[in-house]
Amino acid sequence: MDANHYEFSRLGPDDLPGLVALERLCFSHPWNERQFLLGLENRAFHVFGLKRGGELAAYCSFHAAADEMEVLNIAVAPPLRRRGLGHRLLGLVLQICRNLGITHGYLEVRRSNAAARALYQAFGFVGYGVRKAYYPDNGEDAVLMRLDFPAATTDPERPGAPGQTSAQSQGEPS
């Protein structure tokens, strides 16, 4: 199924069961319900997701302050990977960030996660450093990546592209 068949929306406390379940499927050190709830209630971060039939298929959480954002997590349900959900979700989140006036994005990713690194690179993220032995489960290094948001382009798959539809720009944080 095509990624465009999933509904994009901002997630909140009502989405906690789906967030926690997806988090457990995707990460070796998952966030728990309390961590998500505290972050959502205190507006410490934003969470957006893709749903189909009420089921959460993917989510992206990020922190935004001043003109910077940091991707905290992106998760796609394992059976739905390689179908463009992560690409669509990240593109929409980056568009929201651009609309908020953000000019720089940051993240860290496992060195071994070639698929995630390729996704980030497709949006213009570049590596700029390494955090040695960052991940506690296996001591793997984290690759630090940065995005300087590009000027408006004509590529609809890039953040800020003029050709994006209203459905792609919906769900801006309040």
Phi, psi at 117, each rounded to 5° = -60, -40
Domain presence at residue 67: yes
Identify the pLDDT of residue 81: 94
Domain presence at residue 28: yes
Domain presence at residue 124: yes
Domain presence at residue 174: no
| CATH number, position 50 | 3.40.630.30
35-48 b/e (C-beta count within 10 Å ≥ 16 → b): ebbebbeeeebbbb
Among 120, 130, 116, CA closest to 82:
116
Residue from 23, 120, 134, 135 carrying the catalytic annotation: 120
| Separation between Cα atoms, residue 25 and residue 58, nearest integer Å | 11
pLDDT tens-digit profile of 79-124? 999 999 999 999 999 999 999 999 999 999 999 999 999 999 999 9
Domain presence at residue 162: yes
> How high does pLDDT run on average in the chain?
87
Identify the pLDDT of residue 29: 87
- Give residue 85's domain range: 3-169
pLDDT tens-digit profile of 37-65? 999 998 899 999 999 999 999 999 999 99
| Residue 172 pLDDT exceeds 60 | no
Domain presence at residue 106: yes
- Indicate if 128 belongs to the active site: no
**Alpha-carbon torsion angle 116, 20, 70, 84, nearest 10:** 40
* Residue appearing with tokens 């997701």: 49
| Residue 147 pLDDT exceeds 80 | yes
pTM: 0.84
Identify the pLDDT of residue 157: 52
Residue from 41, 108, 134, 172 carrying the catalytic annotation: 108
Domain count of the fold of the chain: 1
Identify the pLDDT of residue 37: 94
| Residue 150 pLDDT exceeds 80 | no
- Indicate if 55 belongs to the active site: no
Domain presence at residue 160: yes
